[in-house]
Amino acid sequence: MRKACMTTTAAVLVTGAAMWLAATAGAQGGGTIEAEVKYNGAPQVEKLKVNKDTEKCGTEATIEKVVVGGGKGLANAVVSVPGAKGGTMAKGVLDQHGCKFVPHVVVMAPGELEVKNSDDILHNLHTYSTANPSINKAQPKFKKTMMEKLEKPEFVKVTCDVHSWMLGWVAVVPGPAAATNADGVAKIENVPAGKQKVEVWHETLGKMEKEVDVKPGAVTKVSFEMKGK
């Protein structure tokens, strides 16, 4: 009884110390970068007629090349801090749903990508890579999920050989990163304080970079304006 009691006390002390350490690290070590990406041009969204698997794909496909939202915000741009170690990285999950890649741009740390097939039809994952081995693999309707390796940083184009209009991207980035939302805003949390290079990538508009000074425990804002090519 006495031993159990002491073990519990020790566990509480250890948990308390861990929480204190985590709180201290959060307050001193990292800040948030809020990036706003704008595009001063016209959206490029193509529509085309679909005449295959229409019960799942619908009769019209939308190809999102440049999506511009409210206040000229550019969606689907990837904002990353390539030189920062640590930070929060999302697991890579790419779904094929309604004969579209969802999300249009997946952001992930080097490692494994989970590829889902939410449609009850055959898709064929085809990636275009230089740093990673290319993938060209059928995903039949019964195969709801498959795991693929993308271990080197790279922006990988993804298509489907069954449905020619399907287009997506997987951004494999070494540091903390996020894709911009419909308003062109991306928030990256837990970025180590100090001078950091922030990089923006967009599938058709290219790359830009800026240096920011990340303040611990604060939000550092940075804005970009992508130019048309």
Q: Residue numbers of the site for Cu ion (CB under 5 A)? A: 123, 160, 162-163, 166
Give the separation between CA 63 and CA 47, rounded to whole angstroms: 6
**Cα(187)–Cα(102) distance, integer angstroms:** 20
Residue number, 111 or 140, with CB nearest to Cu ion:
140
Q: Using the CB atoms, write b or e for 50-66: b if 16+ within 10 Å.
A: beebeebbeeebeebeb
Residue 142 or 229: the one with the smaller Cβ distance to Cu ion is 142
Q: Residue 101 or residue 224: which is nearer to Cu ion going by CB?
A: 101
Contacts of 15 (CB under 8 A, 6+ apart): none
138 vs 222, which CB is nearer to Cu ion?
138
Cα–Cα distance measured from residue 203 to residue 229, given in angstroms and rounded to the nearest whole number = 11
Q: Which is nearer to Cu ion, 166 or 185 (CB)?
A: 166
CA dihedral 170, 38, 45, 117 (to 10 degrees): 30
CA-CA-CA-CA torsion for 50, 180, 109, 193, nearest 10 degrees?
180
Whole-angstrom distance, CA of residue 92 vs CA of residue 24: 29
Report the residue number, 61 or 81, with the smaller CB distance to Cu ion: 61
Task: Give the containing element (helix H, strand E) for 76.
Answer: none
State the residue number with the nearest CB to Cu ion: 160
Nearest CA to 90 among 4, 7, 163, 172? 172
